[in-house]
Structure 1
């Protein structure tokens, strides 16, 4: 958390409601009161705080949480290059491995630049994967850890040691994963225990064994289709309950898990029982994660941007408001309540994954994050309504971390 001081944030509309002034002390909202006009230079109605931020009638929202990103896998801001990847996770991984070192600027600079762009657009909480394997070693992890240090007063960054190449296909992979946890990673990752490593028991033994050894959460990429994916979920649920890790496990992507409507209720019940969270990147096509049903079932769910304009995909730009539009669009949402729920998922939904002490979204109608007692991590953004801001993605934004301005008009302060 950055150093903080008293602040008054004047004339903002929390979640599009009536205009209020927010009083902040020690980084926390201490009062919410109707906006009181006063002449410049006259006595401040809040008692002369050290900082006054002019909201100018803009919307006030909780800042975004990028709950699933690969900061070490990006070419944002670099010259565009043709996509060269092939089908399947292994083929795409090999394409990335062949190219990531040859970018126009080094990995450390790329990672720090993208994190800065995300913050400037409204993100103050991030869960980033860092690829660790026998090829990269800890080089990519070290770049993410360096970026976290660079921006430590602007954002919370949780780092996942991620075995993108699997754990069983290349000798020495489990040791690199353990080395990454010793080097400062906060979460242990896994990936497709059936389709990539083709031995789910050994794969999950390693992942959950390291989680238990180091006392860290688990985040597993699951791209596996249909019945195979559901089988992997069953194994993950079983281990989560057996080890008492409820609230410390997340399944990322979950493509095709929800394709069979006859299985959805049982899957939701299993995830809720084990308190296993989910993160989606709002993919196109039919591979949709039903964020509304997850929320109503009591399952924590967040939104992320994945890799961005990298060797896997040309998509992504560092703007979580843009990705929130994508979530609403791919879900087919038109009603304001549902589009606002997409914003809630992209903000406090993901934050409750990275910071489990925060209350989870309990209903589609929940609009948390702007009450007395909440940390003043705020995005002030132009818009008639929350829905209009999602549709327009305006550039008039001010980002506050613990009541302190860290970015304005898409530029870091």
Structure 2
């Protein structure tokens, strides 16, 4: 495939040749090509960026595409879990239909790699996992999807949950999920023993939701790091959210960043509005993999989320109070190849806030062509004039799926 009249990462005009799903050459152009020829993709002077990787979403809880409903949840993790439990079966569509629709909207707007949670508990069993599995299958030619077997209500609070997670991992889930070992299960040692035991049994990576505050969060993280080191799981652990790890002492913050880099523990953020997270630029400078996700999308937890990772990239820049072009472009790099490097550890970590990977010879041709004077302008304007490619094949045009 020939992709012509594009500006990789906002640079000079070029054409890109794709063979066997990978970029085989990038050639500068003196001026726009008037007639690219049949089968070619005309970039029309748009930016060429690596497509997005959403590394933290909940496809099993989405209500995108359904009538808007008032928010009924109460503050706190357990009340929100119970609110979701009371309502999810009453949705107008099945879990599979909702997950398939939302994943399609994500792809149409530029996301071609996804790591989604699938809730597993004593209430839903494997029903929600099976719904996400159906969505993955429906879009198998448009997007790469990893499913996390996720005990949203805790591993230990209800009987039979570890066995259900075990079954999901044997049935197509790729990642073992955990959540708040201290505040939710209230038994961090047993929680992490079960979690890492399942990871060892299935040779699967781990992804842990951490909402715990301050020093308590640091305590849980230290237990996670201890097991990561003892079990030789370097590069196999992700900590999601961790809103408050940057709110402890400067020396503790520095130590955590250094240990994350040493053990290749990655972080997934959803760009929360109020947080004391570890500083994004400092994490990148240290060599910590950081990815971005949309979290829940108009579900029983929150009315926010619209399946558009370009919109969430704007939010990442905004909540970090970034104004410099280099830092806003860095948010694009985090939202695309930063997340991709969490899903594929063979991809290099971002080396600095100036690193702009994903558009070099040999890279997988997962691309987003989007209108914008510069990458920063594209984040600010969020044009709907987009072309999405997965493995060198056009899968969406103007924010609508093809085929």
Question: 2:103 matched to 1:115?
Answer: yes
Partner in structure 2 of residue 331 of structure 1: 320
Question: 2:131 matched to 1:143?
Answer: yes
Partner in structure 1 of residue 5 of structure 2: 11
Partner in structure 2 of residue 66 of structure 1: 54
Cα drift, residue 360 of structure 1: 1.2
Gaps of 5+ in 2: none
Question: Which 10-residue stretch deviates more, 286-295 or 386-395?
Answer: 286-295
Residue 234 of structure 2: SS of its match in structure 1?
coil
- 1:43-68: CA deviations, max 9, x gaps? x7xxx8x7300000000000000010
Q: TM-score, normalised by structure 1?
A: 0.95
Determine the C-alpha separation between the residues in 1 that align with 2:105 and 2:374.
Answer: 24
Question: 2:290 matched to 1:290?
Answer: no
Determine the C-alpha separation between the residues in 2 that align with 1:374 and 1:71.
Answer: 28
Determine the C-alpha separation between the residues in 2 that align with 1:399 and 1:252.
Answer: 27
Alignment of 1:307-326 (within 5 A): 307-326=296-315
Q: Is the 8 A contact 1:13 1:58 kept in 2?
A: yes
Question: Which 10-residue stretch deviates more, 118-127 or 31-40?
Answer: 31-40
In structure 2, the CA distance between the partners of 1:18 and 1:225, relative to structure 1 (3 Å rule), is same
Determine the C-alpha separation between the residues in 1 that align with 2:312 and 2:100.
Answer: 20
Cα drift, residue 141 of structure 1: 0.5
Cα drift, residue 273 of structure 1: 1.6
Cα drift, residue 288 of structure 1: 3.5
Alignment of 1:14-413 (within 5 A): 14-35=8-29, 38=33, 40=35, 51-262=39-250, 263-413=252-402
Cα drift, residue 394 of structure 1: 0.5
Q: Is the 8 A contact 1:253 1:278 kept in 2?
A: yes
Cα drift, residue 261 of structure 1: 4.5
Determine the C-alpha separation between the residues in 2 that align with 1:261 and 1:334.
Answer: 26
In structure 2, the CA distance between the partners of 1:68 and 1:39, relative to structure 1 (3 Å rule), is closer
Cα drift, residue 359 of structure 1: 1.1
- 1:193-241: CA deviations, max 9, x gaps? 0000000000000000000000000000000000000000000000001
In structure 2, the CA distance between the partners of 1:370 and 1:51, relative to structure 1 (3 Å rule), is same
Gaps of 5+ in 1: 1-6
Residue 240 of structure 1: SS of its match in structure 2?
helix
How many pairs does the alignment contain? 400
Cα drift, residue 286 of structure 1: 2.9
Determine the C-alpha separation between the residues in 2 that align with 1:286 and 1:135.
Answer: 31
In structure 2, the CA distance between the partners of 1:261 and 1:338, relative to structure 1 (3 Å rule), is farther
Residue 43 of structure 2: SS of its match in structure 1?
strand
Q: Is the 8 A contact 2:4 2:33 kept in 1?
A: no
Q: Is the 8 A contact 2:253 2:278 kept in 1?
A: no
Cα drift, residue 289 of structure 1: 4.2
Q: TM-score, normalised by structure 2?
A: 0.97
Determine the C-alpha separation between the residues in 2 that align with 1:126 and 1:257.
Answer: 25
Determine the C-alpha separation between the residues in 1 that align with 2:40 and 2:392.
Answer: 10
Determine the C-alpha separation between the residues in 1 that align with 2:275 and 2:237.
Answer: 25
Determine the C-alpha separation between the residues in 1 that align with 2:209 and 2:215.
Answer: 16
Determine the C-alpha separation between the residues in 2 that align with 1:293 and 1:115.
Answer: 32
Cα drift, residue 362 of structure 1: 1.2
Q: Is the 8 A contact 1:282 1:288 kept in 2?
A: no
- 1:297-341: CA deviations, max 9, x gaps? 110000000011100011000000000000000000000000000
Residue 190 of structure 1: SS of its match in structure 2?
strand
Determine the C-alpha separation between the residues in 1 that align with 2:340 and 2:40.
Answer: 26
In structure 2, the CA distance between the partners of 1:156 and 1:93, relative to structure 1 (3 Å rule), is same
Structure 1: 4+ residue segments shifted above 6 A: none
Q: Is the 8 A contact 2:5 2:33 kept in 1?
A: no
Determine the C-alpha separation between the residues in 1 that align with 2:6 and 2:33.
Answer: 15
Residue 368 of structure 1: SS of its match in structure 2?
coil
